[in-house]
Amino acid sequence: MPRTLLCLLVALPVTLAAQSPPAGGWPIHSLNRPRPPVVHPGGPAVVPPPADAVVLFDGRTLDQWRSDEDSAAAAPWKIIDGAVEVVPGSGGIHTATPFGDVQLHLEWMSPTPVVGEGQNRGNSGVFLMGTYEVQVLDSWENTTYADGQAAALYGQFPPEVNASLPPASWQSYDIIFRRPRFAADGSVTQPARMTVFHNGVLVQDHVALLGPTSHMVRTPYARHPDRLPLGLQDHGTPVRFRNIWIRPLGPRP
Ligand code: MG
């Protein structure tokens, strides 16, 4: 092995570790981090919208969504069989309405035939406030770093278990999100918190996020508005979504 390459390989984990405060003691995307045990769920939790929910996608229209490439433009994804499908390369989409603390329900499906592996198999993401990602990935018999598999808080916390269903199955996320609170000087008084059920199974339990989720490096909190749009990611694979609804939450009692 050339000496320069060897130096790079030796230096890389040190550099990443230096930039990335550990979550539970683990550097970001560590391949040594234990993978959560597999728990076969009974099926997706298909929950119709309650009366006070804002229906973001009912299978018929993307009126509630905009293009990440141009917020004035309609969402460029396509509707097929009552689902919205990512159009690879078209960019992500986000809601026209901004949200803060919410309960969110959605269902998603990984594409078939299965193409790629690791992070390149059925990758998308649910971005609370456009900033905090719950990973969407085909994690059925598909190995990747633990903090990047389905229902991970990307780059920070793996799910407690892998409750994935096979590709071409509908899967559900039920998410309770509390936005971070900032002091007037921009410092964090309360971190963002996330609770996630994957196919009805608890996988994130009131977890305090370390900051915005990102790739390769953990970035610190930066003060942002109390409400921001919800985003869905175009990661180059035609993942489908359906039955997306959201309930803005009042302050915690
Ligand atoms: Mg993703």
pLDDT band, residue 152 (cuts 50/70/90): very high
Q: In the predicted model, what is the mean pLDDT of residues 123-134?
A: 98
CB-count exposure of residue 247 (10 Å: 0-12, 13-18, 19+):
middle
Pairwise CA distance, residues 12 & 10, whole Å? 6
CATH number of 67-248: 2.60.120.560
Pairwise CA distance, residues 208 & 197, whole Å? 16
Instruction: Output the CA 123–ligand 1 centroid distance in Å.
Output: 5
Q: Which amino acid is at 189?
A: T
DSSP secondary structure string for all residues of 151-193: T-BTTTB--SSB----TTS-EEEEEEEE--EE-TTS-EEE--E
Pairwise CA distance, residues 47 & 170, whole Å? 12
Torsions phi, psi for 16 (to 5 deg): -60, -45
pLDDT in tens, 25-71: 899 999 999 999 999 999 999 999 999 999 999 999 999 999 999 99
> 198: which DSSP letter?
E
For the chain, the domains span 67-248
Instruction: Output the CA 8–ligand 1 centroid distance in Å.
Output: 27
According to DSSP, the residues that pair with 247 across neighbouring strands are 103
In contact, 142 and 121? CB cutoff 8 Å: yes
pLDDT in tens, 83-94: 999 999 999 999
Q: What is the overall mean pLDDT for the chain?
A: 92
Instruction: Output the CA 181–ligand 1 centroid distance in Å.
Output: 25
Whole-structure pTM value: 0.91
pLDDT in tens, 198-232: 999 999 999 999 999 999 998 999 999 999 999 99
Report the range of poorest mean pLDDT among 2-6, 42-46, 171-175, 214-218: 2-6
Instruction: Output the CA 167–ligand 1 centroid distance in Å.
Output: 16
Instruction: Output the CA 152–ligand 1 centroid distance in Å.
Output: 10
